Amino acid sequence: GFRLNCSPEDCNLYSLVEAVEGPMPEGECILGLSLCADETKCPIHDTWKEIQAAFRSTMMSTSVSDVVEADKKKREALEQIDSLVSLAVGE
């Protein structure tokens, strides 16, 4: 297991993944081309760069607490659905 060195509210997913996996690679070509860069772009370079930036931004703006709270809400919703199904089938 792991132990956070910050509060769940202050620890973002980017920092968490980076602590466990190491720095996230930047600028790697999704097609695996070694010469893919801003100067020598592959056909999807610009799109992939935008996707990476959006992913990084989302990871940096999402806290561990956000994930825990979202999971809690999903579990509560599933429990309510399960209760309704049980009532409907007469359990």
70 pLDDT higher than 70:
yes
Mean pLDDT, the chain, rounded, equals: 89
**CA gap 37, 51 in Å, rounded:** 15
Q: Which residues, including other chains, have CB under 8 Å from residue 62's CB and lie 6 or more apart?
A: 12, 13
Reading phi first (left if > 0) and then psi (alpha if -120 to 50, else beta), residue 24 is in beta
3 pLDDT higher than 90:
no
| Residue at 86: amino acid letter | S
**CA gap 23, 6 in Å, rounded:** 18
Per-residue pLDDT tens for 26-57? Answer: 778 888 888 888 888 999 999 999 999 999 99
pTM of the predicted model as reported, rounded to 2 decimal places? 0.71
pLDDT value at residue 14 = 94
